[in-house]
Amino acid sequence: MEIIMGLVLVTLAGLGTGTVAWPMKKIKDLHFEQYLFVFMFSAVLLVPWIVTLINVPDLGGIVMSVGFKPLLISNLLSLGWGIANVLYLVCILKIGAALSGAILSALGMSVGIIAPMVLKGSGLFRNAPSLMSNAGIFIMLGLAVVIIGVILVIIAGFGREKILNNNSNSGKESSGGFLKGLILIIVAGILSSGLSLAFVYSQGPIIEAVKLQGAGEITANFTVWALGIVGGALINILYPAYLMFRKKTWHLLFARKDEVLYGIIVGVQFILSIVFMGRGMVQLGILGASIGFGIQQSMQVVGNQLVGFLSGEWKGVTGKPRKIMYAAIAIILGAVVILAFSNTMT
């Protein structure tokens, strides 16, 4: 039952993170930097620190117990994720949610799945089998299958872009800056696994220290994120703050209630999703760092496509690109089954 719950949690985590772009498609004339500031402030600073400070009796004691090195490693990794996250949000506007999420997930997934089996994580993840074990081989097979699916998503995205560019009578404008957006999302993809790896390499000592103070699993997981992603949080908050200073638009921060409301809602959605991911990884056992992240990222791609379809990115696009996209989603779901099965081989 614990493994099943782990699978459920990482699946929900992927759908949760994969659909965070929905307000950006819903709000007309979005004030990007104001919305991003509220979203990220709520997600990576306000919520995790409120939960931690309320429920952890001696946070300073936990920091001293955990030590400098795990927290430094975690925050450096999250710093990379913070850069990737900002680039991803920018690329949604340039090449669409579906294509941005697909490329980001493919590259990030490769690093996030392989690294914990090569450079062992903390806690129970220290015992993860090697890449050459039976489980490792199956995990690599699942990774290969999901990357095939993601490549098909990219092909479908290019096909969609071509149709929208050629269909001048559709009334649908194609996303601008396509090549620039593609380059940026490749960089983001390489860095994006930092969020998962920040948890993998710091969760063991932090969770142990929090539990010694009598706190429960939920608080322990929130505390890992509160302490471990300060670097990423600063990037994600300082970037929109910089934009507002440069454009002199701080006065617009709370000017639109819909942007503030949606920013807070999606911020809560995001932090709950990554808490689910962390907890799901732990419940999946020694291979949870690799399998959990692989499934979470696979379902994130599915969530990205859901946003793309529901927001009208594929309106007026028929034929081969749409069929390729459907095939890609089916292949990605097949990869999830392979990854889940590999957990039975430990």
Nearest-CA neighbor of 24 among 312, 291, 222? Answer: 312
Which of 32-36, 93-97, 117-121 comes out lowest in average pLDDT? 93-97
336 vs 162 pLDDT, higher one? 336
- At 168 the pLDDT is 53
- At 75 the pLDDT is 94
How many angstroms separate the CA atoms of 5 and 71, rounded? 28
Which of 17-21, 47-51, 67-71 comes out lowest in average pLDDT? 17-21
pTM of structure? 0.83
- At 97 the pLDDT is 65
Kindly tell me if the per-residue pLDDT of 274 is higher than 60. Answer: yes
292 vs 346 pLDDT, higher one? 292
136 vs 106 pLDDT, higher one? 136
Confidence of residue 167 (pLDDT cuts 50, 70, 90): low
- At 295 the pLDDT is 92
- Asked whether the CA dihedral 232, 144, 163, 326 is positive or negative, the reply is negative
